[in-house]
Structure 1
């Protein structure tokens, strides 16, 4: 667990597990779930960045 990120201890297969995020987007706290390969140290942050990019409103 790092700040607003929580990983399940029960692995689905190999190093794949559920990751839960609490992310502030557009002034609101939102919660997300993803599956992540914890053998890759950057995968948690890559998924978090992808969620923010997908869910943030477009800037015009």
Structure 2
């Protein structure tokens, strides 16, 4: 499962049950949205990174 990580705080940018799936780009119309962890606004895709959780 791929998850979005907020670069500023290092926490999940979306709720953990909201997976990005296999899509590696976010639609521009979803910005800005608040970070799930620190509640700061994420303005564009440069403020997030993808993390893959193997779930083993």
TM-score strictly above 0.5: no
Structure with higher helix content: 1
Larger radius of gyration: 1
TM-score by length of 2: 0.30
TM-score (norm 1): 0.29
Instruction: Specify which structure has the higher proportion of strand.
Output: 1
Kindly indicate whether structure 1 or structure 2 has the higher relative contact order, using CA contacts under 8 Å at least 6 residues apart.
Answer: 2
